[in-house]
C-alpha cells in the first residue's frame, strides 16, 4: 500500500481522507482502493482484494451489467447505483461514477462512489471514524509522534520507526531530542523560515506547520524533514502531535503531482466532495466539485469571499479546539472538519464541512490554501433525527418497567434506562455510556460478596456470567443488588452488540416459592395420608395422588400424572370415570358412589367421593377424589345388622317363652294332676293325656325358642363330637328314608366341645333333617368334624371369631340350595321355606342361638341346585369327657318324697297351687309362701327342719337367689332348688354370692321336677366343685 | 338360733299409750335402740316423708282415730313400695286382711301378741332387709 501511496502521492492522501469510496481498476482487475472502500467492503487488508477481477466486486445482477455501467458512467458522467459485494457476501449500496484515468495511457478506471449504507448508519460512523483515524495514523506516509510538553514520546507510528530506525519500544518514554542533531536549527532547511519552536531551544514545543527540520536516525544518518506540530489538549494535559515527512519523498511526490494534475482534477470531479483553492490573499479562486444531486448549490456561493469570511460562519460544535479561524489562517495552519452553515441562493440552509491546508511552491512560498468541502446537510439532518429519536427512545425506555441496557460490539454500554441503573443499586453510577459489561458484572459480584453473599471465587463467577453473556440463550433469573429477582433476557444485535432486558420477577419468584412450598406440603400430606386421595385439574388430569391411591387404582404416579382416567384406562370403566369427573366439574357438586368390583375372586367395595375444588373466585379448578375400601366395613355391618336383628328377635322370643312357659306349666301340671286323680279306667284319661302330650310339644318349642334367644338353661358338659355324631347317625338313619345316605366322618377323637349335649344333638338333628328335606329326590348328606385353628383370614370373615382352635362340624347336602335372599334370613326364627305345617322355622334359629351362646361361629354356603353346606365352629375344649354327666334315668319311685319338708316360694298363684299339689302328691310336707317375705316369715316361724327351698327366681319383693341365701344363713342344711321361666336372668343374679344353685327351667314337667327335687335332696351338703364351676361359666356366658 | 336384731330401726305408730308402753319394753328387750313412736298416722307419714331412710320397718296399729292403719299404708305405698309394713290388728277380719294385702302390707301381727311373736316378725324383717341389701 505504501508503494501505491507513493505512486499516487498526495492524491492518494486526498482519496484516503475522503469519506467516498475510491477503487482503481487496471485491466479489469482491482489495482488499488482507499480505506473507505476497504472498510465498506469489509476487507481488513488491501492485499486480500488487489488483483481480483472487478466483476467479483459487484453483486448480481450488477456484475453482469458491469460493461454497460462503465460505458454509461464514463460516457455520460452520471452516477449509477450498484450493489457491491462485501467480503462476507453481504452487499453495500453505492452510487458510482467511473472515470478513465487516461493520463498515462494505461487502461485504468477510477470507480468513485458513496457508501449509502454508511450514511444511514450515522451512529456507527463514530466508531468507524475512530478506527479510520487509527488506521490513518498507523498507516500514514508521514512519521507521527505524540509527545508530552517535556518532550517525552508517548506514541509513534510505524513510519516514524522506519524513518528514524528505532523500534517503538526504544522511542517511547525517551525525549524527542534524541531524534534531533545538535545543529538542527542551523542546518535545517536554510532556505525556509526559521522554525520558531526550535529557535526557542526546545524541540517542537509549540505549533509549527511545514517547517523544515534536520533529524538524525538511530544509525547516525542525517535526514531532512518537513514537520508540522499540533498542540493537543487531553483533559488538562497538553500533548503535541508531530507529523514529519521526508522532504526527498515530498519532492518525488510533488513531481508526481504535477504529472497527474489531470488525474487530480478527475478525482476531484469524481468525488462528491468539492475542492477549493484560494490565492495567497485567501480569496477563494477556484471551486470544483461534483454537482451531482445538488445542482441548487452554485459554486459561486463560495466564490468571492475570503476563506476567513467562510470560516467565520463556523459552527463551534465540530471545532473542538475553539481556535479562532482568523488565527489559523494567519498562522498558516491546516484546519480540518470545520462545519459551516451557508445559505443557498434558493434560501435553503446547508451545512458544509470544510478542511484545508496551506500550500507552498517548491520554494516554500505560500500559494494559498486548498482543501475540500463536503455537504453534510443530509448527515446533519439524520443526526438531528437520530438525536431526537434517541431522546424519545430514552424517554420511552425510562418509562418501561423493565430494565434495559444496550451494549455495543465491544461490550460497552451505549444506552440504558433508569430502571437498569436502579437495579445496580449502589453501583448506579456505572450506568453511563462506555462502561464495560464485564466491569459491571465484576463490581456487582464484589458488592454482593461485600453484602454477605456466599461467593468464593468472583472471577469464576464473572467467567460463568460472561460465558452466558457471550452466547445468550434462554432467559435466566438473577438477583439484582437491590434484592429484587430479575429475569434476564439477552439478545445479540445484528451489529454484534447486545441488548439486555431485565424484568422483575421478585413477586413471581416469591409466589413460585410459596407455591412450591404449599405444593410440597400438600404433596406430603396427600402422600402420607392413609386414604386413597387424588387431585385432578379442571380437565380431569391427575395432578397429585397418594401412595394408597396408586395401589388402589393399580397405577403409578409416573404414568398417571397429567393424564385423565379415560386416557389411563382405555375401557368403558375409564370412560365412565372420566365422564363422572367432567360431570362433577360441570355440575359443581360432589358425587358419592359405592363401587363394587371383583378381581382374583375377591369382591371389593369401594366408597368413592369426588368433589369439585372451587377457588376463592368461585371457579372450579379441579376435582378431589377420596376412595376408601369399605369391603370389610360393609361385611361387618351386614353381620352386625344380622346379629342385631337376630338378637332382637331372640329377646322377643324369650319374652314370649317366659309367659308361655308359665301357662304351659299350669296346663300341663293340672292336667297331669287331674289324670292322677282319675281312676285308671276313666274315659277322661286319654284326652287329658293328649293335652299333656301337646303341652310337652309346646314346651319343646319354647325350649328351642329359648335356645335361639340364648336364655335356655344349659347343662353343659364335655361332648366328644365324633362319638356324639356317630350316636346321632344311629338314631337318625331310620328317619332319613331309603334314598338318603348319611355319611359321617367323625374326625379326630380330641375334637371335644363344652356345651349342652341335648341342645347339640337337637341342633345337629335339625340340620340333618333340613338337609333331607332339601333333597326330595335323594342324595348324600355328609357330616364331618375336624379341628381348625382360626387365622387372620378366618377372623376377618367372621368378626365374632377369636384366634383359637375350633371344632368344625360341616353338614352338606346335594339338594336344591338357596338363593341370596333366603340365605340372608335363614337364621331368623319362624322363617321357613317349607310348606305350612312341615316346619316350625325354629330349627336353624336354634342352631344359631346354640352356636352363638357357645361362642362359636355358624356359616352357610349354598348354590341354587348345587347343594348347601352348613359349618359350625365351636371352641375346642381341653377338658376330658365326664362320664358321670350322662344323665342316669331316675324312675318315678326313686323320685318320690320321703316326708321331707319343702318351703315353696312362688308368686304366681296357679303355679304355686300346682307345685304345692305335686309336692304333696310326691309325699313332701310343703310350706307355701306367696312372696319372699312370707317365705322368710315361714322359715322363721317353722320350728322343725326345712329340707328344701323350692323358689321361683323372680318374685316382686325378693328374688329367689336372695331368699335362698338368706335362708341358708340360718339353715345351712337346707337344699335349694330354683325355678325360672327366665332362667338366664336368674343365673346372672348369682353375682357376688359365691353360691350356685340348680335352676329348673319352666315349664317343669312332673317327672323332671320330681327327679330334680330328689337329686337335690340326695346330693351331698356341699355342691360338687364341677357343678359349681359349670354354673359359674354358664352365668358368665349369659 | 336367735338372730341379733338390735340394729333394726323401728317406727311404731300406735294411739294407745298402753300398747306403746308394752311395745317399747319389748323392743328394749330385743336390744333395739333406734325406735320412733308416733300416736298419729299423719305425723308418722310426715316423719317417714322426711326420714324414711332412718327406719327399717313400720309397726302400725290398725285402728286409729284420724288416719286408719290402712290409710297410712296406702299413702306410704304411694311413695315407698318397699318399706316393710306390719299391721298390728286386733281383729281377724278377712275383708280387712284382703284389703291390707291389696294395699301392699308386708305382714300382720294379731293382738294380743307375745314378745316371741313380735321377735319372729322383726327377725323376718331383719333377714328380709339383709336379703334386700344383698340383692341391691
pLDDT of residue A888: 36
Give the number of other CB atoms < 10 A from CB of residue A524. Answer: 10
> pLDDT band for position A390 (50/70/90)?
low
pLDDT mean over A116-128: 52
Is the pLDDT score of A906 beyond 50? yes
pLDDT of residue A252: 55
Residue percentage of chain A with pLDDT more than 90:
4
Is the pLDDT score of A874 beyond 90? yes
Lowest mean pLDDT among A548-557, A900-909, A1025-1034: A1025-1034
pLDDT of residue A430: 79
Is the pLDDT score of A987 beyond 60? no
Q: Which residue from B120, B123, B131 is facing A963, i.e. has the nearest CB?
A: B131
Contact A296, A393 (CB under 8 A): no
Is the pLDDT score of A989 beyond 60? no
CA neighbor of A144 nearest in space, from A169, A164, A174? A164
* CA closest to A988 among chain B residues: B135
| CA A474, A478, A480, A486 torsion-angle sign | positive
Mark the ranges of chain B whose per-residue pLDDT is less than 50: none
pLDDT mean over A814-829: 82
Lowest mean pLDDT among A263-267, A593-597, A735-739, B57-61: A263-267
| CA A28, A29, A30, A32 torsion-angle sign | negative
Contacts 24+ apart (CB under 8 A), A215-222: A215/A163, A215/A164, A215/A179, A215/A180, A215/A181, A215/A184, A215/A244, A216/A179, A216/A180, A216/A181, A217/A163, A217/A164, A217/A165, A217/A166, A218/A164, A218/A165, A218/A166, A218/A170, A219/A165, A221/A165, A222/A181, A222/A187
- From chain A, the residues in CB contact with B106 under 8 A are 933
Rounded to a whole number of angstroms, the distance from the CA of B123 to the nearest CA of chain A is 7
**Does A963 reach chain B within 8 Å, measured CB to CB?**
yes
pLDDT of residue A810: 93
Enter the C-alpha cell of residue A1016: 337335690
Average pLDDT, chain A: 75
pLDDT mean over A248-270: 51
pLDDT of residue A949: 92
Enter the C-alpha cell of residue A774: 332339601
Contact A70, A109 (CB under 8 A): yes
> pLDDT band for position A1030 (50/70/90)?
very low
Enter the C-alpha cell of residue A731: 338314631
* CA closest to A991 among chain B residues: B135
Rounded to a whole number of angstroms, the distance from the CA of A945 to the nearest CA of chain B is 13
Is the pLDDT score of A296 beyond 60? no
- According to DSSP, residue A436 is labeled B
Spatial neighbors of A746 by CB under 8 A, at least 6 apart, are: A721, A722, A723, A725, A726, A784, A785
pLDDT mean over A900-920: 87
pLDDT of residue A327: 78
Report residue A1001 CA to chain centroid gap: 75
Please name the residue that has the C-alpha cell 299350669. Answer: A666
Given an 8 Å threshold on Cβ–Cβ distance, is B127 in contact with A957? Answer: no
- From chain A, the residues in CB contact with B128 under 8 A are 932-933, 936, 957-958, 966
Among A909, A929, A933, the strongest candidate for a mutation testing the B interface, having the largest count of B CBs within 10 A, is A933
Given an 8 Å threshold on Cβ–Cβ distance, is B123 in contact with A940? Answer: yes
Given an 8 Å threshold on Cβ–Cβ distance, is B124 in contact with A932? Answer: no
Q: Where are the alpha helices (DSSP H) in A207-332?
A: 247-259, 261-270, 307-312, 325-330
Give the number of other CB atoms < 10 A from CB of residue A775. Answer: 20
Higher pLDDT, A606 or A325: A606
pLDDT of residue A980: 80
| ipTM associated with this complex | 0.73
pLDDT of residue A384: 67
CA neighbor of A198 nearest in space, from A220, A171, A225? A225
Given an 8 Å threshold on Cβ–Cβ distance, is B131 in contact with A940? Answer: no
As a whole number of Å, the CA-based R_g of chain A is 65
Higher pLDDT, A779 or A1037: A779
Helix (H/G/I), strand (E/B), else coil: A908: coil
Given an 8 Å threshold on Cβ–Cβ distance, is A958 in contact with B3? Answer: no
* CA closest to A961 among chain B residues: B135
Please name the residue that has the C-alpha cell 335349694. Answer: A976
**Does A941 reach chain B within 8 Å, measured CB to CB?**
yes
Is the pLDDT score of A186 beyond 50? no
Enter the C-alpha cell of residue A154: 508517548
Residues 3-42 of B with CB under 8 A from A: 3
Given an 8 Å threshold on Cβ–Cβ distance, is A957 in contact with B82? Answer: yes
Contact A444, A424 (CB under 8 A): yes
- From chain B, the residues in CB contact with A940 under 8 A are 120, 123-124, 127
Q: Tens digits of per-residue pLDDT, A967-985?
A: 888 888 898 988 887 654 4
Enter the C-alpha cell of residue A598: 371383583
Lowest mean pLDDT among A266-270, A371-375, A733-737, A835-839: A266-270
Contact A856, A873 (CB under 8 A): yes
Q: Tens digits of per-residue pLDDT, A506-547?
A: 777 777 778 778 778 877 887 777 778 888 888 889 988 888
Whole-prediction pTM value? 0.33
Q: Tens digits of per-residue pLDDT, A601-647?
A: 677 788 888 999 888 888 888 888 888 888 877 777 777 677 677 77
- Phi, psi (5° rounding) for residue A102? -90, -5
> pLDDT band for position A798 (50/70/90)?
confident
pLDDT of residue A887: 37
Q: Tens digits of per-residue pLDDT, A662-710?
A: 777 778 777 877 888 888 889 888 888 888 888 877 877 777 776 666 5
> pLDDT band for position A137 (50/70/90)?
low
Q: Which of A426-435, A483-492, A588-597 has the highest mean pLDDT?
A: A588-597
What is the torsion angle, in degrees rounded to the nearest 10, for the CA atoms of residue A137, residue A142, residue A148 and residue A152? Answer: 110
> pLDDT band for position A1031 (50/70/90)?
very low
pLDDT of residue A508: 75
Region of residue B125 (phi > 0: left; psi between -120 and 50: alpha; otherwise: beta): alpha
pLDDT of residue A757: 79
Residue percentage of chain A with pLDDT more than 70:
75
Amino acid at each position: 500500500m505504501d508503494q501505491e501511496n507513493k505512486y499516487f502521492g498526495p492524491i492518494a492522501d486526498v482519496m484516503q481522507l475522503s469519506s467516498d469510496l475510491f477503487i482503481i481498476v487496471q485491466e479489469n482487475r482491482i489495482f488499488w482502493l482507499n480505506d473507505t472502500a476497504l472498510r465498506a467492503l469489509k476487507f481488513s487488508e488491501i492485499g486480500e482484494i488487489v488483483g481480483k477481477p472487478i466483476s467479483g466486486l459487484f453483486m448480481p445482477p450488477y456484475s453482469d451489467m458491469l460493461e454497460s455501467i462503465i460505458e454509461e458512467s464514463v460516457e455520460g458522467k452520471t452516477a449509477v447505483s450498484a450493489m457491491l459485494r462485501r467480503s462476507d457476501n453481504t452487499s453495500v449500496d453505492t452510487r458510482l461514477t467511473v472515470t478513465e484515468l487516461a493520463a498515462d495511457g494505461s487502461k485504468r478506471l477510477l470507480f468513485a462512489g458513496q457508501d449509502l449504507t454508511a450514511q444511514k448508519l450515522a451512529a456507527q460512523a463514530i466508531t468507524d471514524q475512530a478506527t479510520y483515524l487509527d488506521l490513518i495514523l498507523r498507516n500514514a506516509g508521514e512519521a507521527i509522534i505524540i509527545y508530552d510538553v517535556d518532550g517525552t514520546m508517548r506514541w509513534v507510528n510505524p513510519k516514524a520507526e522506519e524513518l528514524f530506525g528505532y523500534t517503538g519500544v526504544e522511542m517511547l518514554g525517551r525525549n524527542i531530542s534524541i531524534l534531533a542533531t545538535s545543529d538542527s536549527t542551523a542546518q535545517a532547511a536554510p532556505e525556509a523560515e526559521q522554525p520558531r519552536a526550535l529557535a526557542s531551544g526546545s524541540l517542537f514545543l509549540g505549533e509549527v506547520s511545514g517547517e523544515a527540520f534536520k533529524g538524525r536516525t538511530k544509525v547516525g544518518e542525517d535526514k531532512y524533514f518537513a514537520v508540522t506540530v499540533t498542540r493537543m489538549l487531553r483533559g488538562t494535559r497538553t500533548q503535541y502531535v508531530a507529523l514529519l515527512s521526508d522532504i526527498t519523498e515530498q519532492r518525488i511526490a510533488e513531481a508526481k503531482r504535477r504529472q497527474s494534475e489531470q488525474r487530480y482534477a478527475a478525482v476531484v470531479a469524481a468525488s462528491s466532495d468539492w475542492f477549493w483553492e484560494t490565492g495567497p490573499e485567501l480569496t477563494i479562486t477556484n471551486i470544483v466539485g461534483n454537482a451531482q444531486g445538488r445542482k441548487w448549490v452554485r459554486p459561486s456561493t463560495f466564490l468571492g469571499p475570503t476563506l476567513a469570511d467562510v470560516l467565520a460562519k463556523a459552527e463551534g460544535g465540530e471545532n473542538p479546539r475553539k481556535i479562532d479561524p482568523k488565527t489559523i489562517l494567519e498562522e498558516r495552519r491546516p484546519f480540518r472538519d470545520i462545519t459551516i452553515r451557508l445559505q443557498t441562493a434558493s434560501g435553503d440552509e446547508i451545512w458544509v464541512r470544510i478542511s484545508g491546508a496551506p500550500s507552498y511552491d517548491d520554494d516554500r512560498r505560500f500559494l494559498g490554501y486548498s482543501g475540500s468541502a463536503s455537504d453534510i446537510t443530509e448527515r446533519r439532518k439524520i443526526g438531528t433525527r437520530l438525536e431526537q429519536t434517541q431522546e424519545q427512545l430514552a424517554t420511552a425506555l425510562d418509562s418501561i418497567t423493565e430494565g434495559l441496557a444496550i451494549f455495543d460490539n465491544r461490550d460497552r454500554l451505549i444506552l440504558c434506562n433508569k430502571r437498569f441503573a436502579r437495579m445496580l443499586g449502589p453501583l448506579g453510577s456505572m450506568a453511563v455510556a462506555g462502561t464495560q459489561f464485564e466491569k459491571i458484572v465484576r463490581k456487582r459480584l464484589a458488592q454482593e460478596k461485600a453484602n454477605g453473599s456466599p461467593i468464593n471465587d468472583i472471577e469464576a463467577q464473572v467467567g460463568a456470567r460472561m460465558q452466558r453473556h457471550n452466547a445468550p440463550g434462554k432467559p435466566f433469573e438473577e438477583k439484582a443488588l437491590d434484592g429484587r429477582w430479575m429475569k434476564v433476557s439477552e439478545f445479540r444485535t445484528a451489529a454484534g452488540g447486545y441488548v439486555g432486558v431485565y424484568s422483575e420477577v421478585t413477586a413471581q419468584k416469591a409466589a413460585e416459592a410459596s407455591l412450591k412450598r404449599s405444593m410440597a406440603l400438600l404433596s406430603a400430606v396427600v402422600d402420607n395420608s392413609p386414604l386413597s386421595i387424588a387431585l385432578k385439574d379442571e380437565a380431569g388430569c391427575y395432578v397429585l395422588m397418594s401412595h394408597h391411591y396408586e395401589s388402589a387404582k393399580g397405577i403409578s404416579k409416573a404414568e398417571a400424572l397429567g393424564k385423565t382416567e379415560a386416557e389411563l384406562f382405555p375401557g368403558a370403566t375409564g370412560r365412565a370415570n372420566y365422564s363422572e369427573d367432567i360431570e362433577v366439574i360441570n355440575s359443581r357438586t360432589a358425587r358419592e358412589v359405592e363401587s363394587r368390583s371383583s378381581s382374583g375372586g375377591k369382591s371389593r367395595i369401594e366408597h368413592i367421593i369426588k368433589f369439585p375444588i372451587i377457588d376463592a373466585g368461585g371457579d372450579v379448578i379441579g376435582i378431589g377424589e377420596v376412595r376408601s375400601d369399605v369391603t370389610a366395613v360393609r361385611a361387618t355391618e351386614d353381620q352386625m345388622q344380622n346379629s342385631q336383628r337376630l338378637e332382637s328377635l331372640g329377646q322377643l322370643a324369650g319374652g314370649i317363652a317366659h309367659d308361655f312357659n308359665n301357662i304351659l306349666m299350669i296346663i300341663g301340671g293340672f292336667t297331669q294332676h287331674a289324670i292322677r286323680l282319675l281312676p285308671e279306667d276313666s274315659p277322661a284319661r286319654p284326652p287329658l293325656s293328649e293335652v299333656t302330650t301337646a303341652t310337652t310339644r309346646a314346651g319343646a318349642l319354647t325350649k328351642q325358642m329359648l335356645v335361639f334367644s340364648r336364655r335356655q338353661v344349659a347343662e353343659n358338659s364335655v361332648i366328644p363330637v365324633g362319638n356324639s355324631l356317630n350316636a346321632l347317625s344311629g338314631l337318625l338313619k331310620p328317619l332319613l328314608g331309603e334314598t338318603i345316605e348319611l355319611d359321617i366322618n367323625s374326625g379326630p377323637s380330641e375334637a371335644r366341645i363344652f356345651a349342652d349335649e341335648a341342645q347339640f344333638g337337637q341342633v345337629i338333628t335339625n340340620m340333618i333333617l333340613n338337609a333331607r328335606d332339601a333333597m326330595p329326590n335323594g342324595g348324600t348328606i355328609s357330616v364331618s368334624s375336624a379341628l381348625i385353628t382360626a387365622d387372620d383370614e378366618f377372623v376377618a370373615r367372621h368378626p365374632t371369631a377369636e384366634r383359637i382352635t375350633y371344632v368344625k362340624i360341616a353338614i352338606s347336602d346335594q339338594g336344591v340350595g338357596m338363593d341370596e335372599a333366603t340365605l340372608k334370613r335363614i337364621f331368623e326364627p319362624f322363617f321357613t321355606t317349607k310348606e305350612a305345617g312341615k316346619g316350625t322355622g325354629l330349627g336353624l334359629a336354634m342352631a344359631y342361638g346354640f352356636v352363638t351362646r357357645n361362642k362359636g361361629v355358624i356359616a352357610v354356603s349354598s348354590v341354587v341346585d348345587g347343594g348347601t353346606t352348613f359349618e359350625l365352629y365351636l371352641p375346642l375344649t381341653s377338658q376330658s369327657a365326664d362320664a358321670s354327666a350322662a344323665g342316669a334315668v331316675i324312675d318315678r319311685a326313686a323320685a318320690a318324697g320321703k316326708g321331707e319338708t319343702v318351703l315353696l316360694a312362688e308368686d304366681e298363684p296357679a303355679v304355686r297351687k300346682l307345685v304345692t299339689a305335686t309336692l304333696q302328691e310326691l309325699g313332701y310336707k310343703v310350706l307355701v309362701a306367696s312372696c319372699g317375705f312370707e317365705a322368710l316369715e315361714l322359715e322363721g316361724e317353722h320350728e322343725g327342719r326345712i329340707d328344701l327351698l323350692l323358689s321361683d327366681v323372680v318374685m316382686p319383693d325378693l328374688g329367689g337367689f336372695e331368699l335362698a341365701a338368706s335362708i341358708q344363713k340360718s339353715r345351712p342344711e337346707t337344699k335349694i332348688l330354683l325355678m325360672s321361666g327366665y332362667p338366664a336372668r336368674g343365673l346372672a343374679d348369682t353375682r357376688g354370692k359365691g353360691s350356685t344353685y340348680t335352676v329348673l327351667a319352666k315349664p317343669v314337667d312332673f317327672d323332671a321336677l320330681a327327679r330334680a327335687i330328689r337329686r337335690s335332696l340326695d346330693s351331698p351338703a356341699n355342691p360338687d366343685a364341677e357343678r359349681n364351676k359349670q354354673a359359674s361359666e354358664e352365668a358368665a356366658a349369659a | 338360733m336367735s338372730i341379733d336384731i338390735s340394729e333394726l330401726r323401728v317406727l311404731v305408730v300406735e294411739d294407745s299409750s298402753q300398747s306403746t308402753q308394752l311395745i317399747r319394753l319389748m323392743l328394749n328387750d330385743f336390744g333395739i335402740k333406734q325406735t320412733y313412736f308416733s300416736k298419729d298416722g299423719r305425723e308418722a307419714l310426715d316423719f317417714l316423708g322426711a326420714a324414711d331412710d332412718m327406719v327399717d320397718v313400720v309397726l302400725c296399729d290398725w285402728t286409729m282415730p284420724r288416719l286408719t292403719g290402712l290409710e297410712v299404708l296406702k299413702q306410704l305405698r304411694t311413695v315407698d313400695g318397699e318399706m316393710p309394713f306390719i299391721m298390728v290388728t286386733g281383729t281377724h277380719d278377712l275383708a280387712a286382711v284382703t284389703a291390707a294385702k291389696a294395699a301392699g302390707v308386708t305382714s300382720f301381727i294379731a293382738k294380743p301378741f307375745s314378745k316371741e311373736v313380735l321377735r319372729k316378725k322383726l327377725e323376718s324383717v331383719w333377714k328380709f332387709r339383709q336379703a334386700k341389701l344383698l340383692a341391691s
